Amino acid sequence: MSATPLANTCTVAVIGAGAMGSGIAQIAALSGHPVKLLDTREGAAAKAIQGIRTQLNKLVEKNRLTPEAASAAAENLSVATALPELADATLLIEAIIEDLSAKQALFSSLEGIVANDAILATNTSSISITAIGAALKHPERLAGLHFFNPAPL
């Protein structure tokens, strides 16, 4: 069995706009995916997107990225303000607080919103994926997708 990459037309949702979430969003946007960034803190997702755009501009200044690639990645980023706005996402990556009950609640909510074939992923570094998935109706759709900090590096 061979794996196929996620098509660039597939939306990636990142829940949590802290250092990890914004870094993951940057990687997905640079890979050509439409990215929706959601955070429960008022204005956090918009601030993170501005920070990503600043980082993209710095990469252009250092000749590590073309202006066109930076512009395309920036255009791929958008703010989501509520979970239902993530319904069309193919890959949803959680980067919230390291709290089992919070992660279980988030994934239980997402399971009722997204398509049955959407991939749910956690970026946890310390909580059992099995424990997180135990709260799901279909735990087999949950994956661990861990990034080291800072994610873009």
Q: Are 82 and 106 in contact (CB under 8 A)?
A: no
43-93 pLDDT tens trace: 999 999 999 999 999 999 999 999 999 999 999 999 999 999 999 999 999
Cis peptide before 150 (omega within 30 of 0): yes
Give the model's pLDDT for residue 153. Answer: 74
The CA distance from 18 to 148, in Å, is: 13
17-52 pLDDT tens trace: 999 999 999 999 999 999 999 999 999 999 999 999
What number is the average pLDDT over the span 10-16? Answer: 98
Q: Which residue has the higher pLDDT, 45 or 153?
A: 45
Give the model's pLDDT for residue 105. Answer: 98
Give the model's pLDDT for residue 2. Answer: 59
Q: Which residue has the higher pLDDT, 142 or 4?
A: 142
Per-residue pLDDT at 106 exceeds 70: yes
The owner of tokens 């439409």 is 34
Per-residue pLDDT at 115 exceeds 90: yes
Per-residue pLDDT at 1 exceeds 70: no
Give the model's pLDDT for residue 146. Answer: 84
What is this structure's pTM? 0.95
The CA distance from 19 to 23, in Å, is: 6
146 an active-site residue?
yes
Sheet holding 77-80, edge to edge: 77-80, 35-38, 12-15, 91-94, 119-122, 142-144
What number is the average pLDDT over the span 115-141? Answer: 95
Catalytic residue among 64, 146, 149, 150: 146
Q: Are 91 and 121 in contact (CB under 8 A)?
A: yes
Give the model's pLDDT for residue 39. Answer: 98
